[in-house]
Structure 1
């Protein structure tokens, strides 16, 4: 698969998780949903350990699982209960800024004005799509939860490039899923709502989140970080809102607005600046030895 196709596939898979999550959250609380999602993914991936346990993959996978699955998703879903969804979207879209900052501190990348300006333009596009307007002040507890989750995700992105080099993506995904399930299970037991017989739609959504979004999405994420570096890979998350809007329109008949088209244009322009003019396509299509 070409590099552009890989990025598009990743954004589609990652964005589709929000559509499936919206379906499942109609009947399940967030902690129970996430614990079930990662538990099922780990169970399906258990055969990857048939050849033995790689201790380095175990250590790195558990660390990334705590950051990506337990902290990032657990905190973000908790913050979503206290904040308007558009506030969460914009907050999480700041991940590329933090990732580039952490990558610079770690010596993986250099901070440059052009990509930072591009990221700013991309976040502005997300804000346009989210429709941020004057309204009640956001709950500081929710902001703190989402901010902490965003920091955890940015840190995990940098650590993936730094510590996961050479490790098989499926083994990493297994240990990340196992760590997420084990960390979120106590929260599901203590704070989760009682679970009755789920509908077919909820079962299908959970299965997709486990197999498609978790196994497929995390494996693609590791590949993108290895090929393009943490900062550039994180910038691809700016494509998620446009894909999310399109998928929501298909799944829920949500009407498309002029703001969606304007925001998508700003995001694409921002990505062009982030990857540098004249090199955007080359950055996605060149061969990178790994």
Structure 2
């Protein structure tokens, strides 16, 4: 793995983890589905405009259109829709821990439904990762964590797992920014009617804090992180790229504490480290043994 890929992976992990903090700010100040419709609509317009400026086209292959539709519905409408609604009652750090289960669920679902074999190390990693989540959530539930919010976040990560499995072979290709913009547009269209039905007339007030959170969500996790992810998958493959998710649990807890002042205890620290170890074990088990050493070598972009 070359240095550029490592830096892209680290950047993606940090942005992914920070997204839960900006989301928490937005959903406590305005209706969550409306916030997502606004985020997706603006993100789509920006990304598609950039794609046209870069000479990219809407003439996508069948596989690319499948990526647009599946990611737009499963990742944007379902995963983020459920997650943003659930985060009205669940803290950013807890939501980031739940979302970090995605690589574990992908490995389990691949074994259970697609008959993909699991190495003993991967099985052990699944057990370790789930144990870490149990450590964190059992303590938080005993301290009054909202059960409905937790269930919505769990349903959200299942939707993201489905999206990941369905388009697991998709890379960036020459139209990566166009794909990013179109899947955002699909998410906005899918959530517009539910937002109108469920949130009509719900009051909220614009503030600098809210605008800043939405702007960050649109530009950084919304466009930049998605672009980095597709590029990273193109460079090193989905399995190696997903290995960077092991950084999300500790980063999510740390960023929420620094940005929002969320409290955390030793159970959060220990549990997030255990989850990270489990994710890393699973991902390393899925990489061919010859590819395991991390060698930093020059590579032309």
Give the TM-score of the pair, scaled to structure 1: 0.81
Matches within 5 A, 1:102-113: 102-103=109-110, 110-113=117-120
Q: How does 1:145-184 map to 2 (within 5 A)?
A: 145-164=152-171, 166=173, 168-184=175-191
In 1, the alpha carbon distance for the partners of 2:202 and 2:221 equals 25
Aligned to 2:7: 5
Does residue 194 of structure 2 align to residue 187 of structure 1?
yes
Structure 1: gaps (5+ residues): none
Number of residue pairs matched? 288
Distance in 2 between the 1:106 and 1:126 partners?
A: 25
Query: How far, CA to CA, are the matches of 1:289 and 1:127 in structure 2?
Result: 43
Determine if the alignment matches structure 1 residue 115 to structure 2 residue 128: no
After superposition, give the CA deviation of every residue in 1:169-204 in whole Å (9 maximum; x if it has no partner): 312211111111111111221112535441011101
Residue 293 of structure 2, aligned match among 276, 282, 285: 282
Match of 1:41 in 2: 43
Give 1:49-128 correspondences, 5 Å limit.
49=52, 51=55, 52-56=57-61, 57-80=64-87, 91-103=98-110, 110-128=117-135
- For structure 2, the 5+ residue unaligned runs are none
User: How far does the alpha carbon of each residue in 1:93-141 deviate from its partner, in whole angstroms, 9 at most, with x for none?
Assistant: 432233124445558x642221232243234334434434547897579
CA change 1:97–1:288 in 2 (3 A) is: farther
The worse-fitting range, judged by mean Cα deviation, of 166-175 and 206-215 is: 166-175
The verdict on how the C-alpha distance between 1:259 and 1:159 changes in structure 2, with shifts beyond 3 A counting, is: same
Is the aligned partner of 1:244 residue 2:252?
yes
Distance across 2 between alignment mates of 1:28 and 1:284: 46
Structure 2 Cα separation of the partners of residues 219 and 231 of structure 1: 17
Q: TM-score, normalised by structure 2?
A: 0.78
- Residues 286 and 187 of structure 1: is their aligned pair in 2 closer, same or farther, counting only changes over 3 Å? farther
